[in-house]
Amino acid sequence: MQSLDDLNKRVEENTKANQVLLEENQTLRTDFRERVAKYQEQAELSKELIDKLTEANTSYEERLQEMAVLLRQANAKIMEGEEAKKTIAEYQELVKKQEEVIASTKENRENLSNLVKRYETVLKERNAEIKAKNKEISELQNEMSKMKKECARLKEQSRRLEALCRYLQEKQDSDFDPML
């Protein structure tokens, strides 16, 4: 049977361990929220870029159609033909950049998804540890309560025995006749 001091020490140790786990949980939660906010910013930026690229794509398609009309009308204008080639090259470069942005966005989403899963796993583990520590603290508190009751019972029993001993001693002293 453990002493009351030992139980108090274990309760304090478990309480400190729980506090550390709670602080780690809070740190993980804050980090997770910051990463989610960053991901949302990246998602918004990606959406804006995609919108701009779509708008530019529409603009370039319109320009390409205009160039095609000009080329049909004036086959001899080499200068306009070179500009059309340049526009096509720019469009292709823009499409290439758009594909890179889309690929980067997908990769960021996957990375964030993996990170979220890892944090969820860590949070579940921490919560399980906290529950186990809380259960152990509860058990220790129950055991300490039982020990306090037992201690009170033993004190009362000791008090009664002392009273009985005093009574018996007094009786023996009063029954003792020094003349005999």
Per-residue pLDDT of the chain in tens (180 residues, 90 and over written 9): 678 888 899 899 999 999 999 999 999 999 999 999 999 999 999 899 889 989 988 988 888 888 777 667 766 667 777 887 889 999 899 999 999 999 999 999 999 999 999 999 999 999 999 999 999 999 999 999 999 999 999 999 999 999 999 999 998 888 765 565
* Helix, coil or strand: residue 89: helix
What number of CA atoms fall less than 13 Å from residue 93's CA on the CB side? 6
For residues 19 and 25, give the distance between their C-alpha atoms in angstroms, rounded to a whole number: 10
Please give the CATH number for the structural domain made up of 4-149: 1.10.287
10: three-class secondary structure by DSSP: helix
Q: What is the pLDDT of residue 99?
A: 94
Q: Which residues contact 74 (CB under 8 A, 6 or more apart)?
A: 80
- The predicted model scores a pTM of 0.35
